[in-house]
Chain A
Amino acid sequence: MHSNNRDRFLLEAVLAGDEEAFGRLYDKYVVKIYRFVSFRVGSKESAEDLTAEIFLKTWQYVKQGSRQIENVKALIYRIAANAIIDHYRQSGNEYLALSEDCWNQIVDQTSLSDEAQKKDDLRQVYQAIKFLSPADRELVLMRYSNDLSVKEIAEILGKNPGAIRTALHRALKTLKAIIKNQVKT
């Protein structure tokens, strides 16, 4: 069965009294959402708190039953994106779409991998992404780090897929230019 149909099936099951169905949905998305949040907030504790809050908010949205849910995955990510923005708003910090702490953590963890060069490459990637505008950074990360389709990104951000495709194309072009420049210097 198509993944989204399966997700909607699970939502129907939970509304029919099978809470374990929501557990299955949680199992399917918890790691992805945790990664999505971690990339953006950095600290493990904040990522854990926010991820738990996102699933709770998803359940609260589902139980209201006010609107037909077309795409469950996009809904969870939209709730996640809003929760992260709220988190930044409350802390008064600027939203960066990529936390340096989180990236450093990734660089430190790569010791299991076989490539010695990988750490340097990862640092270079971070430097390149950092030069992108926050909006472009968000698009690139959603597409490549969170493996979301253009249609899903459009649904999460509440925009037209065509506009997202164009914006993503431009963001990648900019990233390419930054990397080219990095190589030259």
Chain B
Amino acid sequence: MMFYRCKKFIRQAGSEINPKENWKQTSREALLAEIRRSPIWRQAQNKPKVQARAFSFSAFLPNYRLIFRPVGVMAMIMVVVFSGSIATVSAARASLPGDTFYPVKIGLERAQISLALSQEKKAELEIAFAGARLKEIQEIINKKSSDQGNGVKAAANIEQAISHLSEGLNSVQKRLDQIKESASAQEAVGISKLVNDNAIIFEENLLQLKGRITKDQVKTELQTVASIDEALVKLDETNTKSLAVMVEKSLILPGSEAKEDAATKLQTTIERMEKKIEVTEQKINSVNKNIEQAKSFSLSAGQTATASSVAAMLSKDNNASTTQEVVSPEVLRQVVKEVANKPEEAKKTIEDAKKILGEKDASKLGDVLNKVQETNSIVQDAREKLKSAETLFKSSEN
């Protein structure tokens, strides 16, 4: 073996070792939780927002004399306007939905995107701004629980942030289409990976936020939950699209690194898909159980189950009203029957994906992707049907 090949192998060997996605996420969350526990972070939270978020130029300009040089000043402006830095975004986002300056902030973000010179920067900014929307939702919820604030107003503000989040995700999807058409394969792989990594984190964060909202069980927030569900679907679409671009373009690139990255991503997606199937299966079982309970309830009470009783059981909403319109759980039973086979069908498809991926043949990554997408459609279809059944009962309640 030649010496130059030895150096090449040492370089390549480094990229063969990768941590597990689950561990990465758990460790990240533990780290951020530790930061939130620290007094320095709490103090920063208590400062007025504008001050707390203002960044110090001293961080990246140790030589202050530069500030007084026109070239230095110009460079600073260029850095702030054109950079895709997450910190720049953080510094600009002092206002929250409902604040007077919030539309200005959104306008500035749009201007920053349009001023960015490359598709890569634009995509990086768009995804960073989508993350900022999630942070806003979190802050509104925190504020609401600490201040005992107005629930209706908070819900409207969350709605506003979700609406901007969905708009942002639409832009990211369009950007991915453009990148797929015009950018180099290398660039497309890089951007799609960035989008995919973030979309996964956003999905988890949004699910947690949804959990916090539904925990309150306030009726005015039902619409908010529905909007979050729509945003989750949009995130799922963004995730799928970015994965598709990544796989497609990695096949064009020479060498094995991009293909191996795509294979790892597919493996992670398969694992996530398996969890989704499991959750859907549990949901179907729980709905089934609820129907049975509704039936026995009506029998013991000597009357037919009401729409509200079934809906209450489905949503576990103990505050649901008890109007006396009679709706048979038969409709729901029909829906459950329709979706009962879906998890098995999805499991079979995802097993096929795993088998193809297990062959470790890079040319078949596209086939794995197709199977993953097929599984996603099956699961999505089952979820939508279950959801419409719930909505049906809830609307009959009104």
Q: A5 CA to B47 CA in the complex, in Å?
A: 25
List which B96-147 residues lie within 8 A (CB) of chain A. 131, 135
Tell me whether A96 is interfacial, beta carbon within 8 Å: no
Our pick among B56, B90, B263 for the contact of A18 (Cβ within 8 Å) is: B90
| CB pair B52 A34 closer than 8 Å | no
| CB pair A63 B40 closer than 8 Å | yes
| CB pair A35 B14 closer than 8 Å | yes
What residue of chain A has the Cβ atom nearest to residue B38's Cβ? Answer: A63
Chain B residues with CB under 8 A of A170: none
Beyond A17-B44, A102-B17, A146-B14, whether A125 also contacts B9 by CB under 8 A is yes
Our pick among A9, A68, A109, A183 for the contact of B87 (Cβ within 8 Å) is: A9
User: B-side binding surface: helix, strand, loop or mixed?
Assistant: helix
Chain B residues with CB under 8 A of A15: 40, 44
Beyond A18-B53, A144-B7, whether A109 also contacts B16 by CB under 8 A is yes
| CB pair A48 B83 closer than 8 Å | no
Tell me whether A14 is interfacial, beta carbon within 8 Å: yes
Chain B residues with CB under 8 A of A175: 3, 6
Q: Which of the candidate stretches B28-36, B167-175, B210-218, B347-355 sits at the interface with the other chain?
A: B28-36
Chain A residues with CB under 8 A of B35: 14, 19, 22, 59
Q: A135 CA to B86 CA in the complex, in Å?
A: 38
Our pick among A63, A111, A145, A176 for the contact of B360 (Cβ within 8 Å) is: A111
Chain A residues with CB under 8 A of B60: 5, 8-9
Chain A residues with CB under 8 A of B18: 31, 34-35
Beyond A55-B31, A68-B62, A125-B9, whether A35 also contacts B17 by CB under 8 A is yes
What is the distance, in angstroms, from A69's C-beta to the closest C-beta of chain B? 9
Chain B residues with CB under 8 A of A176: 3
| CB pair A121 B9 closer than 8 Å | yes
Tell me whether B88 is interfacial, beta carbon within 8 Å: yes
Tell me whether A1 is interfacial, beta carbon within 8 Å: yes
| CB pair B260 A125 closer than 8 Å | no
Beyond A112-B256, A121-B1, whether A147 also contacts B56 by CB under 8 A is no
Q: A140 CA to B11 CA in the complex, in Å?
A: 10
What residue of chain A has the Cβ atom nearest to residue B257's Cβ? Answer: A113
Tell me whether B27 is interfacial, beta carbon within 8 Å: yes
What residue of chain A has the Cβ atom nearest to residue B135's Cβ? Answer: A20
| CB pair A26 B31 closer than 8 Å | yes
Chain B residues with CB under 8 A of A34: 17-19
Chain A residues with CB under 8 A of B5: 121
| CB pair B16 A179 closer than 8 Å | no
| CB pair A13 B14 closer than 8 Å | no
Our pick among B11, B32, B85, B360 for the contact of A147 (Cβ within 8 Å) is: B11
Chain A residues with CB under 8 A of B91: 13
Our pick among B7, B36, B88 for the contact of A19 (Cβ within 8 Å) is: B36
Q: A78 CA to B368 CA in the complex, in Å?
A: 41
Tell me whether A84 is interfacial, beta carbon within 8 Å: no
User: A9, A48, A114, A175: which has the most chain B beta carbons within 10 Å?
Assistant: A9
Tell me whether A46 is interfacial, beta carbon within 8 Å: no
What is the distance, in angstroms, from A17's C-beta to the closest C-beta of chain B? 3
Our pick among B1, B19, B44 for the contact of A48 (Cβ within 8 Å) is: B19
Chain B residues with CB under 8 A of A163: none
Tell me whether A74 is interfacial, beta carbon within 8 Å: no
Chain B residues with CB under 8 A of A109: 16
Tell me whether A157 is interfacial, beta carbon within 8 Å: no
| CB pair A13 B55 closer than 8 Å | yes
Chain A residues with CB under 8 A of B197: 27
Chain B residues with CB under 8 A of A121: 1, 5, 9
Q: A151 CA to B256 CA in the complex, in Å?
A: 30
Tell me whether A164 is interfacial, beta carbon within 8 Å: no
Tell me whether A30 is interfacial, beta carbon within 8 Å: yes
Our pick among B6, B55, B259 for the contact of A16 (Cβ within 8 Å) is: B55
Beyond A68-B62, A144-B10, whether A17 also contacts B17 by CB under 8 A is no
Tell me whether A110 is interfacial, beta carbon within 8 Å: yes
User: B3, B13, B40, B362: which has the most chain A beta carbons within 10 Å?
Assistant: B13
| CB pair A11 B14 closer than 8 Å | no
| CB pair B17 A21 closer than 8 Å | no
The 3 closest A-B pairs by CB, nearest first: A17-B44, A9-B87, A145-B14
Pick 18 A–B contacts, CB within 8 A, sort by A. Answer: A11-B59, A14-B35, A16-B44, A19-B35, A20-B131, A21-B87, A34-B17, A34-B18, A39-B17, A52-B31, A55-B31, A56-B31, A59-B35, A112-B259, A144-B7, A144-B10, A145-B13, A180-B3
Besides A17-B47, A105-B16, 19 other CB < 8 A contacts?
A9-B55, A9-B59, A9-B88, A13-B55, A14-B41, A16-B54, A17-B41, A17-B45, A21-B90, A24-B86, A31-B19, A35-B15, A56-B31, A59-B34, A118-B9, A145-B13, A147-B11, A175-B3, A182-B1
